[in-house]
Amino acid sequence: MNPRHRRLLIPGLLIALIAVVVVASLIDRADAAVAEPVTTLSDSRITESSGLAVSTTEDDLAYTVNDSGNAAEVFAVDLTSGAVVGVTTVRAEFRDVEALALRDGTLWIGDVGDNGRERDDLALYAIDEPGRTTATVDARRFPVSLEGGPADVEALLAPPSSDRLQVVTKTLAGAEVLTLSEGDLDDTRTARFRKTAEDLPALVTDGAYSPDGSRVALLSYGTLWSVDPTEWSVVGSGPLPSLEQSETVAFVSDGAVLVGSEGSDSPLYRLTLPTGEGATEGLATVPTATAEPSSSTVPATTVADDSVDSRTLVLGGIGVAGLLVLVVFLVVRRGRSGGSRRALR
């Protein structure tokens, strides 16, 4: 290679490397700008948190459960410290519990996970809200099925002031809402969920109703969706903080939710529900103490105040890096072409 081109190539590569490092740091900054976790589920027994329900009697108490392959246990978690303050062992054989829903003192446990779309033994379990106790309890088991046949389900919904229960299918496109009445449940026969809505977001991993029933929060990998349940229309969405595998969502007020993840030492973030015009434009943010009055004692955190949207910075950085790499490539190619022509003379 011509020494002059070599002198140009080395600084060019260094500049391109610096640009890549800057882009990586901007991506990290974009993730970090969303929120800080309000607590962490640090108990070693909670490794695959796949359902979350916030107590209706204690603002700083929530329940979670591990999914397939784990013991039939419900963990009561203090939301201030993240510590487990009670374990309820259910006398049952859970297969793949993926969701929790709490209404009127009853904790519904959804053994409805079906990645292979082949199960014929889906079931809902009902226990009294456990509180901060450790005990072994019996559960009422109700066999259920889905209209249309087996489907993977990871979201169980209990609309307030209602006797309905709903599930949302986890599909790559056109997710469905299926509904049944508590009165249809019977421990001796299978009750069927009937389709009541369709064309919901893809890959729904959990869902919950707001306390006033006006909104449904749906969670997918990377996105929090706000849905109007009267028409099942999406009214807002926003990206999530960086999570290993987002699997849990529960309301702490009519306008704020907790979202969490599978994995050891999994964080819980408190996020405002994205709604209204332009909700998809910005990050799903964590409310400050003055931004939203709430009876919840779950501590709120603040969001880094960036004057420029972090995603714009990331895209701009990627563009600059790409341009620099292209320039370096053209310089090298020109140098090689020139050398070839000289060799042919």
Mean model confidence pLDDT for the chain: 80
The β-bridge partners of 260 are 248
Report the distance separating Cα 37 and Cα 53, nearest Å. 17
At what angle are helices 310-344 and 3-32 packed, to 10 degrees? 160
Q: What is the pLDDT of residue 69?
A: 86
Which pLDDT band holds residue 275 (cuts at 50, 70, 90)? confident
Q: Which helix (H) or strand (E) holds 90?
A: strand 84-90
Choose among 141, 60, 154: nearest CA to 115. 154
Choose among 145, 148, 100, 140: nearest CA to 248. 100
User: Do 144 and 193 form a contact (C-beta atoms < 8 A)?
Assistant: yes
Task: Quick: pLDDT tens for 35-61.
Answer: 689 999 999 999 999 999 999 899 899
Q: What percent of the chain has pLDDT over 90?
A: 67
Asked whether the predicted pLDDT for residue 325 surpasses 90, the reply is no
Q: What percent of the chain has pLDDT over 70?
A: 70
Task: Quick: pLDDT tens for 187-244.
Answer: 999 999 999 999 999 999 999 999 999 999 999 999 999 999 999 999 999 999 989 9
Q: ∠ at Cα 286 (282, 290), nearest 5°?
A: 115
Angular region, 161: left φ>0, alpha ψ -120 to 50, beta rest = left
- Dihedral sign of CA atoms 181, 126, 185, 234 in order: positive
Choose among 199, 195, 198, 196: nearest CA to 147. 195
Q: Following CA atoms 201, 202, 205, 207 in sequence, which dihedral angle do they give, to the nearest 10 degrees?
A: 10
- Cβ neighbours for 212, distance < 8 A, ≥ 6 positions apart: 160, 254
Q: What is the pLDDT of residue 45?
A: 97
Asked whether the predicted pLDDT for residue 276 surpasses 70, the reply is no
- Cβ neighbours for 146, distance < 8 A, ≥ 6 positions apart: 122, 153, 167, 169, 178, 192, 193
Q: What is the pLDDT of residue 280?
A: 42
- This prediction's pTM: 0.74
Report the distance separating Cα 247 and Cα 262, nearest Å. 6
| Residue 248: CB atoms within 10 Å | 30
Report the distance separating Cα 75 and Cα 213, nearest Å. 26
Task: Quick: pLDDT tens for 90-133.
Answer: 999 999 999 999 999 999 999 999 999 999 999 999 999 999 99
Mean pLDDT along residues 260-273: 95
Mean pLDDT along residues 135-141: 98
User: Do 200 and 227 form a contact (C-beta atoms < 8 A)?
Assistant: yes
Asked whether the predicted pLDDT for residue 265 surpasses 50, the reply is yes
Choose among 159, 155, 154, 122: nearest CA to 141. 122
Asked whether the predicted pLDDT for residue 304 surpasses 90, the reply is no
Report the distance separating Cα 118 and Cα 97, nearest Å. 15
- Cβ neighbours for 251, distance < 8 A, ≥ 6 positions apart: 54, 208, 209, 210, 211, 217, 257, 258
Task: Quick: pLDDT tens for 150-186.
Answer: 999 999 999 999 999 999 999 998 899 999 999 999 9
Q: What is the pLDDT of residue 252?
A: 96
Judged by average pLDDT, the poorest of 4-18, 109-123, 256-270 is 4-18
Note the Cα 236 to chain centre separation in Å. Answer: 15
User: Do 78 and 60 form a contact (C-beta atoms < 8 A)?
Assistant: yes
- Cβ neighbours for 241, distance < 8 A, ≥ 6 positions apart: 31, 34, 35, 37, 259, 267, 269, 271
